[in-house]
Amino acid sequence: MESDWNNEAVIRHTACLADSLRHFTGRELLPASADPVAFARAVFAAPFVLVSHGTEADPVLNYGNAAALSLWETTWAELTRMPSRLTAEAPNREERARLLAEVTRHGFIDDYSGIRISTCGRRFRIAQATVWNLLTPAGKPCGQAAMFSRWEFL
């Protein structure tokens, strides 16, 4: 797992996650660090779940910290090939799509709750999630992210 976050692309993406959260909400992902490698390590090891996906027609997950990998019972390699829609069961995908459309329109939402499913079929409810748009340094949309600390297995 040490190598999952420890490459230049993921370190840059971690900065994008933090910068975009600050842009849309005014909040910090974690206390800032002058060292981007130390910051990426801290975010990967953080006690909250953090995931993101890109802007493909069927968006694919492109980041999950250690808490996310554990919750979804998967590896970095598997997670980063998974369409993000598969994090929800089929009956909940329409509701998830509405949520993401709202985030696209408004930049972020707070206090989202919903049911998700791990790669092993374990269902869990997330609560008080923040979901936000991701922007490149030039301000172009590059995906969406979600962060939460509360979940319960069903």
Residue 150 has pLDDT above 70, yes or no: yes
Please give the pLDDT value at position 5.
Answer: 86
49 conformational bin, left if phi > 0, alpha if psi -120 to 50, beta if neither: beta
Q: What is the pLDDT of residue 33?
A: 87
pLDDT of 98 reads 80
CA-closest candidate to residue 69, choices 96, 50, 54, 86: 50
Using CA atoms, how far apart are residues 83 and 54, in angstroms rounded to an integer?
10
Q: For residue 41, what pLDDT is reported?
A: 96
With 0-12 CB in 10 A as exposed, 13-18 as middle and 19+ as buried, what is 137?
A: exposed
Query: How far is Cα 38 from Cα 21, in angstroms, rounded to an integer?
Result: 19
Identify the top-confidence range among 27-41, 78-92, 101-115.
27-41
> Mean pLDDT throughout 105-113?
90
Looking at residue 101, what is its pLDDT? 83
* Every domain of the chain and the residues it spans: 2-153
- For the cut 90, the answer to whether the pLDDT of residue 130 exceeds it is yes
pLDDT on residue 32 = 82
Residue 95 is predicted with a pLDDT of: 77
pTM score, whole prediction: 0.92
Q: Residue range 100-124: average pLDDT? A: 91
DSSP assignment letter at 150: E
Q: Beta strand 141-148 with 49-53: parallel, antiparallel or unpaired?
A: antiparallel
Please check the confidence at residue 118 and state whether its pLDDT lies above 80: yes
Record: fold of 2-153: Beta-Lactamase (3.30.450)
Q: What angle do CA 99, 109, 119 make, to 5 degrees?
A: 50
pLDDT above 70: residue 2: no
Produce one character per residue of 88-121: b if its CB has 16 or more CB atoms within 10 Å, e if not: beeebeeebeebbeebeeeebbeebebbbbeeee
